[in-house]
């Protein structure tokens, strides 16, 4: 025991005095804290750097799907969603022009969850035991708990400092650590500092300043923004469920994040006519288009929140950044800096935490005793790139495809949107909710259901148009299938095969 304490004290001194460790993690967000804690739990010496240690105020990262909860618990961080006034999420309630379908997370017989296994490709919901549950909460409270866990870990030293650049070797491209600017508590001036590690993990978020240095695909695709309101004492139609409202020009999300607070996220596509300055901007869109489309019980609290503050609501860009293999020795970019999807389905934290579980196992000391072995780390990162796809490809493609359908910017997409809701209304919700929840790691299940929705859309179109217009029916069917393919296949190819 005494020898162990001596080693821990020695490593802690090297971190605090010389700023040296096995791993330097840039960014103490969801991914950064989780990977720091996971690697420290394996005996690695870890330095965690964060520009601003005060509780953050963000409008995304507030809904964790069951798959994310599973991974959080695997990492020994399940306590971080306790005692923060988190709310249990049992699934989603989808509203479509006055109709609604409640879709609980499924307990699928034979499903092996995050570690493998396949689900049946068809069938309605079936009670096979307790259903998985997600959690929703104030993002800042969750981050504070993650950081507290890192601060208390004997193998982690946390520094509040701004990372400004990476440090390279003189004769090779290997990253040796990072250069930072740390505020002197006495003078208030920022002073140069350096931190060194055998491996540098950059997890500095969606607006990463280092992404372009490590990966070739650096510019996320942004099609819209989420504008947020916080509703107080909102009467949700289905307490304990997230709500998706289809009926405005673009989807609206509602989910409870505290005992009294409900988050509403209003998607506003770029150059949306209804949100133009002539129509009152974003606030005018919320008042004139979104408010009438909401369930009646939600409208009073939504209106009160809109009237409470006359400023433009807080917003976040909704981005898609497909994953890319990395080859810079000594460093990797991960988290939102590496891979993003539209937050419509709330899959971001599930992807991040599943990535941490995979990476923890691949970089384990029994596999890679010395992280300075850049070739071994590169092989592990190549395995990581392909192994993660089975789950993350589903979450990413589903988020982008459903957003295209739910925002429905043309006639064919509107038909697919109607077909999707009818598909859910028929009771086929088990697999779709299993995929949204991060519980079914099988891309073939996603492909099956997506094109099943397309054929339901064709059947509804035929029923509406009339069977006697045969040439028109086949022409419409072709365009519906073509649109479904354009929405689904390019994203699926980019996420799964590259």
**pLDDT digits over 75-110, tens only?**
999 999 999 999 999 999 999 998 999 999 998 665
Does 467 share its domain with 345? Answer: no
- What is the DSSP-derived secondary structure letter of residue 222? E
**Which of 269, 290, 319 is where one domain is finished?**
319
Q: Are 264 and 256 in contact (CB under 8 A)?
A: no
20-26 and 190-202 beta bridge pairing? parallel
The model carries a pTM of 0.94
Are 149 and 213 within one domain? yes
> Is 110 among the domain residues?
no
Rg (Cα) of the chain, in Å, rounded?
24
Q: What is the CATH number of the domain that holds 162?
A: 3.50.50.60
The string of DSSP letters for 10-38 reads HHHHIIIII-EEEEEEE--SHHHHHHHHH
In this predicted structure, the answer to whether residue 423 has a pLDDT above a threshold of 90 is: yes
pLDDT (tens digit, 9 = 90+) per residue, 36-82? Answer: 999 999 999 999 999 999 999 999 899 999 999 999 999 999 999 99
List alpha helices for 279-429, DSSP H. 281-285, 291-293, 299-308, 348-362, 374-387, 389-407, 411-425
Residues 451 and 481 in one domain: yes
Give yes or no: residues 211 and 357 share one domain. yes
- Domain membership flag for residue 288: yes
Question: What average pLDDT does range 244-270 have in this prediction?
Answer: 95
Domain boundary residue among 319, 335, 358? 319
Q: Is residue 293 part of a domain?
A: yes
Residues 179 and 142 in one domain: yes
- In this structure, the answer to whether residues 361 and 445 fall within a common structural domain is no
Q: CB within 8 A of 41, min separation 6: which ones? A: 75, 76, 153, 155, 360
Same domain, yes or no: 208 and 338: yes
Count of structural domains, the chain: 3
Domain boundary among the residues 303, 319, 335 is at: 319
Count the residues in the chain: 498
% of residues, the chain, pLDDT over 70: 93
Output the pLDDT for position 128: 52
**106 CB contacts (<8 Å, ≥6 apart)?**
125, 126, 131, 132, 429, 430, 431, 433, 434, 437, 439
pLDDT at 264 (0 to 100): 98
In a domain, 349, yes or no: yes
Domain check: are 458 and 396 in the same one?
yes
Domain housing 311: 221-319
User: Is 208 buried (19+), middle (13-18) or exposed (0-12) by CB count in 10 A?
Assistant: buried
Q: What is the mean pLDDT of the chain?
A: 92
pLDDT for residue 4: 54
Q: Report the alpha-carbon distance of residue 264 to residue 280 in Å, rounded.
A: 19
Consecutive H or E run containing 88 = strand 87-89
Asked if the structure places residue 129 within a domain, the reply is no
253 and 342 belong to one structural domain: no
**Quick count: other Cβ atoms within 10 Å of Cβ 76?**
13
Vertex 220, ends 52 and 179: CA angle to 5°? Answer: 40
pLDDT band at 20 (very low <50, low <70, confident <90, very high): very high
* Whole-number Å distance between alpha carbons of 494 and 498: 6
């Amino acid at each position: 025991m005494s020898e162990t304490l001596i080693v821990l004290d020695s490593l802690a001194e090297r971190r605090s005095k010389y700023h040296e460790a096995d791993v330097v993690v840039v960014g103490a967000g969801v991914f950064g804290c989780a990977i720091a804690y996971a690697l420290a739990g394996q005996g690695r010496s870890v330095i965690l750097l964060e520009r601003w240690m005060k509780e953050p105020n963000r409008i995304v990262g507030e809904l964790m799907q069951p798959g994310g909860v599973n991974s959080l618990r695997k990492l020994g961080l399940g306590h971080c969603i306790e005692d923060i006034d988190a709310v249990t999420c049992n699934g989603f309630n989808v509203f479509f022009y006055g109709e609604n379908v409640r879709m609980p997370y499924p307990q699928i017989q034979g499903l092996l969850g995050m570690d493998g296994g396949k689900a049946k490709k068809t069938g309605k919901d079936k009670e096979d035991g307790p259903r998985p549950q997600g959690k929703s909460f104030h993002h800042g409270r969750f981050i504070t708990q993650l950081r507290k866990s890192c601060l208390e870990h004997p193998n982690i030293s946390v520094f509040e400092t701004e990372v400004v650049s990476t440090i390279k070797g003189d004769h090779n491209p290997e990253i040796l650590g990072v250069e930072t600017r740390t505020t002197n508590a006495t003078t208030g001036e920022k002073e140069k500092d350096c931190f060194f590690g055998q491996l540098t993990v950059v997890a500095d978020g969606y607006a990463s300043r280092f992404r372009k240095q490590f990966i070739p695909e650096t510019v996320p695709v942004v099609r819209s923004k989420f504008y947020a309101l916080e509703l107080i004492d909102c009467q949700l139609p289905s307490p304990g469920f997230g709500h998706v409202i289809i009926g405005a020009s673009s989807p609206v999300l509602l989910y409870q994040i505290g005992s009294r607070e409900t988050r509403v996220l209003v998607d506003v596509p770029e150059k949306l006519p209804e949100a133009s300055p002539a129509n009152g901007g974003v606030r005018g869109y919320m008042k004139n288009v979104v408010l009438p489309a909401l369930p009646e019980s939600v409208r009073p609290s939504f209106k009160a929140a809109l009237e409470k503050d006359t400023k433009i609501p807080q917003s976040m860009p909704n981005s898609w950044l497909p994953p890319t293999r990395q080859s810079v020795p000594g460093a990797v970019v991960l988290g939102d800096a590496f891979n993003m999807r539209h937050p419509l389905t709330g899959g971001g934290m599930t992807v991040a935490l599943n990535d941490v579980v995979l990476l923890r196992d691949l970089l384990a000391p029994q596999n890679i005793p010395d992280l300075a072995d850049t070739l071994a780390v590169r092989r592990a990162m190549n395995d990581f790139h392909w192994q993660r796809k089975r789950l993350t490809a589903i979450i990413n493609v589903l988020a982008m495809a459903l957003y295209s359908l739910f925002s429905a910017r043309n006639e064919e997409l509107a038909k697919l949107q109607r077909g999707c809701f009818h598909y859910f209304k028929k009771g086929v919700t088990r697999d779709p909710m299993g995929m949204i929840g991060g519980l079914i790691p099988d891309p073939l299940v996603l492909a099956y259901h997506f094109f099943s929705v397309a054929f339901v859309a064709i059947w509804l179109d035929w029923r509406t148009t009339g069977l006697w217009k045969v040439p028109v029916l086949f022409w419409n069917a072709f365009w519906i299938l073509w649109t479904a393919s354009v929405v689904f296949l390019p994203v699926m190819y980019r996420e799964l095969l590259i």
